Amino acid sequence: MYDRFVARKLIDQWLIEDIGCFDLTAQLMVDPASRATFYMNAREPMTLAGIEVAAEVFRHYEPECRVEMRAADGDRVEKGAVLLVVSGPGQALLTAERTALNIAQRLSGIATETAKYVDAIAHTKARLLDTRKTTPGLRMLEKHAAVCGGALNHRLGLDNGVMLKDNHISVCGSIAKAVEMARKHVPALTKIEVECDRIEQVREALAAGADVIMLDNMENAAMAESVEIVAGKALLEASGGIRLDTIAGKAETGVDFVSTSRPFQSAPAVDIGLDDAA
């Protein structure tokens, strides 16, 4: 989910960046009266995200554009699938083309990579969480892409939950003191999560009343032991160094969530083209 009003503000910035003073090629070489129709095609299998944003790029730049959606965010499509059809003034379509493709390729890349991680733990009860390690300025849309890939959002921002990490705990003096201080002031419905990297910290966080305990960079055996200790009295999140080849083992320990930044940080853009024939 994302806010369309905010997305249109972002689109303004993207188009201003790409156009500069004006589109030298389109305005000098394309007849302003010309009309065109283009097909946005998937050139490889992918999980979609940002297709509606891409459509809005065309509509926002040229209100006369007409877009027919052939697929939706969250769809898994095969190579050759037509994602949308856009018609309108040829000059405007060519000017907006790259911006529309860039955002669809980037967000669909994240969704596609996320879906691989989701599939890898589908046989467990654990759910995949994203992180805040997003591209500055694109968090709203990148987190939308993660959801399209099947993940759940972790904190949307620093005001979305209390996360007591090692440095916070060090400043407060102990996990117990940090949780107590947070509990006094936190909004009533906001969860408190504590980062732990040792079994004794898990016990302390549980005794302090943490809502969520993050098992940070723990070995699988220690995670499984933590699951037994907590026994459902708090939610458990496995985090730290999660890769596609290790995530299944982490999820199989019995944790509730596994979080990773890798779809944000390492997902390649997928190949999407804008062609004049389907």
pLDDT of residue 204: 97
The pLDDT tens digits along the chain (278 residues) read 899 999 999 999 999 999 999 999 998 888 989 999 999 999 999 999 999 999 999 999 999 999 999 999 999 999 999 999 999 999 999 999 999 999 999 999 999 999 999 999 999 999 999 999 999 999 999 999 999 999 999 999 999 999 999 899 988 999 999 999 999 999 999 999 999 999 999 999 999 999 999 999 999 999 999 999 999 999 999 999 999 999 999 999 999 999 999 999 999 999 999 999 75
- String of DSSP letters for the chain: ---HHHHHHHHHHHHHHHHTT--HHHHHHS-TT-EEEEEEEESS-EE--SHHHHHHHHHHH-TT-EEEE-S-TT-EE-TT-EEEEEEEEHHHHHHHHHHHHHHHHHHHHHHHHHHHHHHHTTTSS-EEE--S-PPTT-HHHHHHHHHHTT-B---SSGGG-EEE-HHHHHHHSSHHHHHHHHHHHS-TT--EEEEESSHHHHHHHHHHT-SEEEEES--HHHHHHHHHHHTTSSEEEEESS--TTTHHHHHTTT-SEEE-SHHHHHPPPP-EEEES--
**Per-residue model confidence (pLDDT) at position 278:** 54
Look at residue 29 in the predicted model and tell me its pLDDT.
Answer: 87
pTM to 2 decimals?
Answer: 0.95
> Which positions are catalytic?
98, 133, 165, 195, 216
Query: In order of start, what are the domains of the chain with their CATH numbers?
Result: 4-114+268-275 (3.90.1170.20), 119-266 (3.20.20.70)
